[in-house]
Chain A
Amino acid sequence: MSEKVKKLFREELKVANIGLEIFYRSLKDQAVEVVQISWQPPPSLERRLKEKLEKLL
């Protein structure tokens, strides 16, 4: 089996939760070690600049 999956099935979970905080709380309630990454949509100006840059490069 993939060593990484084998390791996952044997280890304690350590989770990064990106997005809905309800899932952070659920994991906390199950005594799972979890960190919350708050996510916001990239500002549209930044997105447009990035797209333009990508085209230029």
Chain B
Amino acid sequence: MEIVKNLVKMNFFRDSLQLMQLSEEVKKIDGVLDAALVMGTDTNKEILERLNLLTSEGKAATSNDLILAIKVRDESLLSRIIPVVEDMLMRPVTSLQPTIDKTYYTVESALDDVPNINLAVISIPGQHVKEVALKLLEKGIHIHIFSDHVPIEDEVELKKYASERGLLVLGPGAGTSIINGKAIAFANKVRRGPIGIVAAAGTGLQEVSVLLDRVGLGISQGLGVGGNDVKESVGGIMTIDCIKYLEQDEETKAIMVVSKPPDTPVLKKIIKFIEEETKKPFTLCFLGTKKYVPPKKLAKRIHSCRSLHAAVLDMVKFINPEKYKDAKTSLSPKLSELKKSCKMLSKNLKPGQKYLRALYTGGTLMYESLLIYRELIGKDVYSNAPLDPRYKLEDPYKSYMHTVVDLGEEEFTAGRAHPMIDPTIRKIRLIEEARDPEVAVITLDFVLGYGANPDPVGAMQDAIIEAKRIAEKDSREIVMMAHVCGTEADPQNSSIQEEKLKNLGVIVFPTNALMVFASALVVKRCKISDEKLRKAYKEFLDV
């Protein structure tokens, strides 16, 4: 008889990616029906519960403990399987990755052995970052900090220290940078070119660099400064430094600044710097802020846009006006055509199918969607990270009416790999949404590039098929839409990923903003006033 067993290893640490890999290995053992090896965070226990893999032993684990959750065909197999899994766990960490040439265990030993290191990428628990980062900065090494939860006073100290010495501290919480054409952390393979990007928004940088690539333009440098940099406590130290460096960089001909809303004093400081200390063309995309209107004499040089999609079109106009028409055609279909297609898509929906469910892995893409939905659907779009706190989901694991969820937020990722790598959490959610007879449209983002899942669409495929089957069994049809944020040069190849989606009956859009626009039209059966539509189209899909 099938049985679920939890073994708890107290005070035992493995990082989430190593555990994800081990889980996959354990699932392949003969007799194992399902398995998950996770640190005992609340998030992980919640997910084990939803996978029917949690027992009372696992429930009692703490975030310092490792839970080995396993479902086997028959109890008698446990005595054979558990020692095998324990052996796997006890292997030295490095043997999980035989491709590593040599592993160092201290920063000092690596720097002694390997001269001329010019960049360090740090992804260790936040409370330990400062100690490691300072050692590197003292040696004149630039750093990109992927880690979250770095105490804000540590961030300020590191950034001040670096700024005084002409060094970069990208992050903490920087998901993406592109330096000298190389992807750092989660980033895409995009062509090199004249556009420099400073971003306090990880997937924002990914989306604009990918879309610029799509319309034939390239970037010089893409510098992710981390979301906190534009908060008052940090004061935009690195945003301004990076703008200054790109202004002085000969390869950079125009600069784009992408961010979620900065604190007002920081926004003012950044704008003042751009107005007074720079001469290059700028496209500013401070999502969710009142549109900045530059002084008349600067209106030709400094532009401001309200979506990532619009910012890209604006930059094309700046850099290569003859490409603008083609770029517009490839990214923004005419409103009348869009309406016509959406009407077609909504024709099989039943009257009771009223709601939209957007399941995001990219935080900035989710935020951009909320801005557009607010204009087209209204304020009452619920989320785990809403624009208006009144519309915060009571339970982030449960959708309510129109719901847009960021599955990369803390409540879903504590002690787990990000959903751009590990699809488990989104697969569970997609199936739950499909069971809801009031759901009309489901949207999904697929973020490609280095660091991401090697086949993100493939990893979701079973769940997409199952979701469609559930709806069909109930004589419903759910409109499924997707946006692939990636390029053909990415390891996952955007064309292959898009083709897979189309074969699954999912409608694919070239930009997130366009997908959001279309999903709003479908869920509303195109019953949105022409005035509202035209205004939103002009703001988010046009320049």
Contacts and interface: CB of A to CB of B under 8 A. Distances in A.
B244 interface: yes
Query: Interface majority SS on A: helix, strand, loop or mixed?
Result: mixed
Interface string B226-267: 000000000000000000110011010000000000000000
Interface of B: 13, 15, 17-18, 93-94, 96-97, 99-107, 110-111, 113-114, 116-125, 128, 132, 136, 140-142, 146-147, 165-168, 179-180, 182-185, 189, 221, 244-245, 248-249, 251, 421, 450-451, 491
A39 B179 CA distance: 24
A2 B189 CA distance: 27
Interface string A1-24: 111111111011111111111111
B451 A18 contact: no
A14 to B, nearest CB: 5
A7 to B, nearest CB: 7
Contacts of A29: 450, 491
Across the A-B interface, give the 8 residue pairs with the lowest CB-CB distance, nearest first. A2-B166, A19-B123, A1-B248, A26-B450, A20-B123, A16-B120, A19-B124, A39-B124
B118 A8 contact: yes
Contacts of B99: 25, 28
10 contacts: A4-B140, A8-B119, A8-B180, A9-B179, A13-B179, A13-B180, A14-B119, A36-B104, A37-B105, A38-B94
B339 to A, nearest CB: 41
Contacts of B244: 1
Given A7-B118, A23-B121, A16 B111 contact: yes
Given A4-B165, A32-B182, A11 B93 contact: no
Contacts of B119: 8, 13-16
A9 B221 contact: yes
Question: Which of B13, B111, B119, B251 has the most chain A CB atoms closer than 10 A to its own CB?
Answer: B119
Given A8-B180, A23-B121, A35-B101, 17 more contacts: A2-B167, A13-B179, A13-B180, A15-B117, A16-B110, A19-B123, A19-B124, A20-B146, A25-B99, A26-B185, A29-B450, A30-B189, A30-B450, A35-B117, A36-B101, A37-B103, A41-B13
Contacts of B116: 14
Contacts of A3: 166
